[in-house]
C-alpha cells in the first residue's frame, strides 16, 4: 500500500512538472512568434533558462534575511505540489481528502505567504513593493474565487474533489461549466491572479524592476519563476474536476481525458496571459469587489436553487 501511494505521488508530481514545462515552452513559443524570432528554438528556452539559473551564483543584497527569502522561494513550488494531491488525475486523487476544496484554497494562501517572505527577506524596496502588490491582488480575487469553489461544491453536495467530478461523470449529467459558467470564468481569472501571470504579473512587473524577484538570483530565482508555472498548472488541473467533468469522455479511460482537458485549459490560460495587457491593481480591486463578487454570489444562489428543485 505504501509503495502504491508513493508511486501515485511520483506520477502526480511528474504530471505537474511536465505540464508546467510545457506551459513555459508554449509561452516562449507565443513570445517568439510576436517578436519575429524562431518559434522552434524558443521551445527549448525554458530548459536553457533553467540551466543558466542553476549554475549562476546566488546574490544577496546587504542586510537581507536570506533564510526567510529562501524559505519563501521553496514554499511557492511546494504549495503547487501540495495542491495537486487532492486533484483526481484519473478516478481517484493521491490524497482524497473530504475537504479537498478547502485544502486547495489553503495552498493558495500558502503561496501568498511565500511571495511575501521572498519580497520582505530580500531587503529590497522593489521586492517589498512586489510582495505587497501580490497581497493586494490576493485580497481582490480571493472572495470571488472562494465563491466559485463553493458553487462547484454546492452543486455536488461535497467538498471532496473526486465527488464533484463523480457527479458530472454520471450518464446523462451535464458538466458544471454548463450550470455555472460565471463561476468557471471567475475561477479561470483567479488562476491567472494567484499565479501572478499575464495581466496580473504586477508583483514581478518591469516597472518595479522585477518586484518580488528583484533581490534573488540563481536557484532561488528559478524556484520562484518555476513556482508560478506550477501554480498555474495545478489550477488548470483543478478546473477539470470542478467544472469540466473530470475524466468523463467517450472511448478512452479517465486519465487521458483529464490530461487532455488540463492541457487545453493551460494552453488557453497561457495564450490569454500573452495577449492581455497588465491590469492596474486599483482597477482590478474595484472590478473584483463590485462586479466579480456579486456575480459569483448570484451564481452560487442560482446553483443552490437548482439543487433544491432537483435540476442538478
pLDDT digits (tens, 9 = 90+) for 208-237: 776 777 777 788 888 888 889 999 999 999
Residue-wise pLDDT for 126-157, tens only, equals: 888 888 888 888 888 999 999 999 999 999 99
Return the C-alpha cell found at 194. 494567484
User: Mind listing the pLDDT tens digit for each residue in 71-91?
Assistant: 888 899 999 999 998 998 876
State how far the alpha carbon of 86 is from the alpha carbons of 97, 110, 138, 196, 292, in Å. Answer: 6, 16, 22, 22, 26
Q: Which helix (H) or strand (E) holds 189?
A: helix 181-194
Q: Residue 4: its pLDDT value, please?
A: 63
What does the pLDDT read at residue 243? 95
Neighbouring C-alpha atoms within 13 Å toward the C-beta of 168: 29
pLDDT score recorded for residue 179 = 93
Distance between CA 303 and CA 7 in Å, rounded? 38
How far apart, in whole angstroms, are the C-alpha atoms of residue 309 and residue 312? 8
Taking residues 297-301, report their average pLDDT.
95
Query: Do the Cβ atoms of 29 and 43 come closer than 8 Å?
Result: yes
Long-range contacts for 130-136 (Cβ within 8 Å, ≥24 apart)? Answer: 130/202, 130/203, 130/204, 130/205, 130/208, 130/210, 130/211, 130/212, 130/213, 130/214, 131/203, 131/211, 131/212, 133/202, 133/203, 133/205, 133/208, 133/211, 133/281, 134/196, 134/203, 134/212, 136/281, 136/285
CA-to-CA distance for 264 and 41, rounded, in angstroms? 23
Q: How confident is the model at residue 28 (pLDDT cuts 50, 70, 90)?
A: confident
Span 266-278, mean pLDDT?
Answer: 88
Domain boundaries, the chain: 2-309
- Report the candidate in 84, 78, 283, 312 with the shortest Cα–Cα distance to residue 183: 312
Q: Which three cell numbers stand for residue 105?
A: 484554497
The pTM for the full model equals 0.91
Whether 2 has a pLDDT exceeding 60, the answer reads no
Looking at the chain, the whole-number percentage of residues with pLDDT higher than 90 is 35
Candidate ranges 3-17, 244-258, 262-276; pick with highest mean pLDDT: 262-276
Segment 22-49 mean pLDDT: 78
- Kindly tell me if the per-residue pLDDT of 14 is higher than 90: no
Identify the residue with better confidence: 13 or 64: 13
Largest CA distance in the chain: 63
Amino acid at each position: 500500500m505504501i509503495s502504491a501511494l508513493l508511486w501515485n505521488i511520483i506520477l502526480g508530481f511528474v504530471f505537474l512538472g511536465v505540464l508546467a514545462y510545457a506551459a513555459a515552452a508554449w509561452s516562449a513559443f507565443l513570445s517568439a512568434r510576436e517578436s519575429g524570432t524562431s518559434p522552434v528554438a524558443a521551445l527549448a528556452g525554458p530548459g536553457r533558462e533553467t540551466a543558466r539559473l542553476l549554475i549562476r551564483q546566488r546574490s544577496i543584497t546587504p542586510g537581507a534575511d536570506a533564510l526567510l527569502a529562501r524559505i519563501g522561494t521553496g514554499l511557492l513550488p511546494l504549495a503547487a505540489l501540495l495542491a495537486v494531491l487532492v486533484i483526481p488525475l484519473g478516478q481517484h486523487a493521491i490524497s482524497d481528502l473530504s475537504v479537498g476544496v478547502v485544502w486547495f484554497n489553503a495552498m493558495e494562501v500558502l503561496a501568498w505567504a511565500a511571495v511575501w517572505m521572498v519580497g520582505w527577506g530580500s531587503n529590497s524596496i522593489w521586492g517589498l513593493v512586489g510582495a505587497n502588490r501580490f497581497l493586494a491582488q490576493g485580497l481582490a480575487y480571493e472572495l470571488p474565487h472562494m465563491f466559485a469553489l463553493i458553487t462547484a461544491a454546492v452543486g455536488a453536495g461535497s467538498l471532496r474533489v473526486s465527488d464533484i467530478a463523480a457527479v458530472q461523470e454520471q450518464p446523462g449529467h451535464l458538466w458544471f461549466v454548463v450550470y455555472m459558467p460565471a463561476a468557471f470564468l471567475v475561477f479561470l481569472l483567479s488562476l491567472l491572479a494567484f499565479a501572478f501571470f499575464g495581466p496580473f504579473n504586477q508583483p514581478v512587473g518591469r516597472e518595479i524592476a522585477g518586484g518580488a524577484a528583484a533581490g534573488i538570483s540563481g536557484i532561488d530565482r528559478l524556484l520562484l519563476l518555476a513556482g508560478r508555472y506550477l501554480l498555474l498548472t495545478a489550477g488548470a488541473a483543478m478546473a477539470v474536476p470542478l467544472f469540466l467533468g473530470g475524466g468523463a469522455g467517450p472511448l478512452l479511460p479517465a486519465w487521458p481525458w483529464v490530461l487532455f482537458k488540463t492541457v487545453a485549459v493551460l494552453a488557453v490560460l497561457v495564450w490569454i496571459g500573452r495577449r492581455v495587457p497588465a491590469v492596474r491593481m486599483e482597477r482590478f480591486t474595484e472590478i473584483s469587489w463590485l462586479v466579480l463578487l456579486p456575480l459569483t454570489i448570484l451564481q452560487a444562489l442560482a446553483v443552490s436553487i437548482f439543487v433544491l428543485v432537483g435540476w442538478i
